[in-house]
Amino acid sequence: MAVARSRSKLVLDIGSYVVLIFLAFICIAPIVWTFLTSIKLEEDIVTRNMIYIPTRITFEHYVNLWNQSGYPVLVVNSLITTSVTVLICMLTGTIAAYSFSRFHFRGRTQLMLAYLIVRMFPAVLMIVPLFIVMRQVGLLDSSIGLAIAYTSFLLPLFVWMLKGFFDAAPKELESAARIDGTTRLGAMFRIVIPIARNGLLATAVFVGIAAWNEYLFALMLTTSQGSRTWPVGLQLMVGEFQLPWGMLAAGGIISILPVIVLFAFVQRAMVAGITAGAVKG
């Protein structure tokens, strides 16, 4: 009886591992394939028979990309746009999330729902009005303008996520701080934000990654090299008669590096923050 049970458990375990390894392969294979492509010789990339492992490793695609295509400018533009987006979200979203979490004002629920509704529309719907507004105020084709456009759909995400973290911080702590001598805003900055700092970090990283990878708005709202971000720049490398696979792959790898590095640094805090919000919220 016991043998039969342990055997069926073994089969179940093997089955689980097969499924999990298959799913992990589906997730990781494209990234590995992109990396391998980026270090292959040009003649190893477009071939009659598929060459999986590079015959010789080369970094010429990286060098070409960096020196010839203006890719550094794209990365810098992306960095500026992402930083400004995160900054705006942090400055306005933190106070908004705190207000939603702590004050029961008239129209609070409706306002929260309105924030959500913005996220339910397809992004394409918002692009035309945003384009007209940006042109009117002279922010078309600028990093700041693009960051403001990103804020329009990332701020609701930021506020909703952060509200969960603020809800998890006990209200009695602020009462204690107010009796101890702080104002409401002081209690927020001195007590609540330090408690919710993992959540704040997690939310900021979420928003940062979303802004870093965004393509559609960047394509529509930027027209010149001066403000274009890397996803658009990379796509524009695809010409009518040429498809520089090696450079595209190298661009892709460079672009995900900041995300990987950022995630490696903050993953512990992020996981702690996300689970804290999930369990207590």
Partner 1 sequence: MATLSIKGVRKSFGSVEVLHNIDLELEDGGFLVLLGPSGCGKSTLLSIIAGLEPSSGGDVVIGERTVNDIHPKDRNIAMVFQSYALYPTMSVRRNIGFGLEMRRVDTSSREDAIGRAADLLQISHLLDRKPGQLSGGQRQRVAMGRAIVRNPDLFLFDEPLSNLDAKLRVEMRTEIKRLHDRLGTSVVYVTHDQVEAMTLGTKVAVMKGGVIQQLADPQTIYEQPANMFVAGFIGSPTMNFLNGTLENQDGKLVLHHGEETLELSGVAKGASAYVGKKVVAGIRPETFSKGAGPSALTGIVDVVEPTGPDTMVVLDVGGQMISARLGSRERPHPGEPMTLSVDTTALNLFDPETGDRI
Residue with tokens 């028979």: 49
Footprint (CB under 8 A) of partner 1, residues 208-237: none
CA pair distance 39, 249, nearest whole angstrom: 9
Indicate whether 189 belongs to the interface with partner 1 (CB under 8 A): no
102 burial via Cβ count (<10 Å: 0-12, 13-18, 19+): middle
Residue 22, Cβ density class (10 Å: 0-12 exposed, 13-18 middle, ≥19 buried):
exposed
Give the phi and the psi of residue 105 in degrees, each rounded to 5.
-95, 165
Applying CB under 8 A, which of residues 79, 112, 133, 173 lies at the interface with partner 1? 173
Q: How far is the CB of 173 from partner 1 (least distance, A)?
A: 5
- Convert residues 128-167 into a mask of x (bound to partner 1 by CB under 8 A) and - (unbound): ----------------------------------------
User: Among 1-9, 50-58, 179-187, 267-275, which window interacts with partner 1 (CB under 8 A)?
Assistant: 179-187
Q: Can residue 172 be called a binding residue for partner 1 (CB under 8 A)?
A: yes
- Closest distance to partner 1 from the beta carbon of 111 (Å): 20
Q: Where is 18: in which H helix or E strand?
A: helix 2-38
Is residue 177 a contact point for partner 1 (CB under 8 A)? Answer: yes
Q: Name which of 85, 90, 93 is nearest 210 in CA terms.
A: 85
* Segment interacting with partner 1 (CB under 8 A) among 89-97, 130-138, 190-198, 216-224: 190-198
- Among 181, 239, 242, 279, contact with partner 1 (rule: CB under 8 A): 181
If we measure between CA atoms, which residue out of 159, 156, 191, 157 comes closest to residue 172?
191
Residue 185 interacts with partner 1 (CB under 8 A): yes or no: no
> Which residues form the interface with partner 1 (CB under 8 A)?
170, 172-173, 175-183, 186, 191, 194-195
